[in-house]
Amino acid sequence: ETGVTQTPRHLVMGMTNKKSLKCEQHLGHNAMYWYKQSAKKPLELMFVYNFKEQTENNSVPSRFSPECPNSSHLFLHLHTLQPEDSALYLCASSPSRNQPQHFGDGTRLSIL
């Protein structure tokens, strides 16, 4: 139990579907992150939120849309994804931007 919960754990969707990934942290952290993990590549940072404000968008295509309604919840809205978007999407949180990040178990996303 890492204190960071991601749902769903697995998601299969067509390219025209709209779905959302959810992340909830119970650690009282102020920063939250979305990462993409593909085979044989380093973890890729997608978005950073600090005190509910987006502070970083790492050149992510607009078909990925993050939302952070409060410091404990983070969403990733998905629309018109491509097959190359199939990957493990990891959420992380940290007390502040300069402190170690704690990860959830991820959502395994498959695009048909």
Partner 1 sequence: GQQLNQSPQSMFIQEGEDVSMNCTSSSIFNTWLWYKQDPGEGPVLLIALYKAGELTSNGRLTAQFGITRKDSFLNISASIPSDVGIYFCAGQRYGGSQGNLIFGKGTKLSVKP
What are the tokens at 22? 């959810």
Please, is 49 exposed, middle or buried when counting C-beta atoms within 10 Å of its C-beta (0-12, 13-18, 19+)?
buried
Please, is 5 exposed, middle or buried when counting C-beta atoms within 10 Å of its C-beta (0-12, 13-18, 19+)?
middle
Residues 82-111 that bind partner 1 (CB under 8 A): 90, 92, 97-98, 100-106
- Tell me if 53 contacts partner 1 by CB under 8 A: no
Provide, rounded to whole angstroms, the least separation between the CB of residue 68 and partner 1: 17
- Tell me if 48 contacts partner 1 by CB under 8 A: yes
Note the residues at the interface with partner 1 (CB under 8 A).
2, 4, 6, 40-43, 45, 48, 55-56, 90, 92, 97-98, 100-106
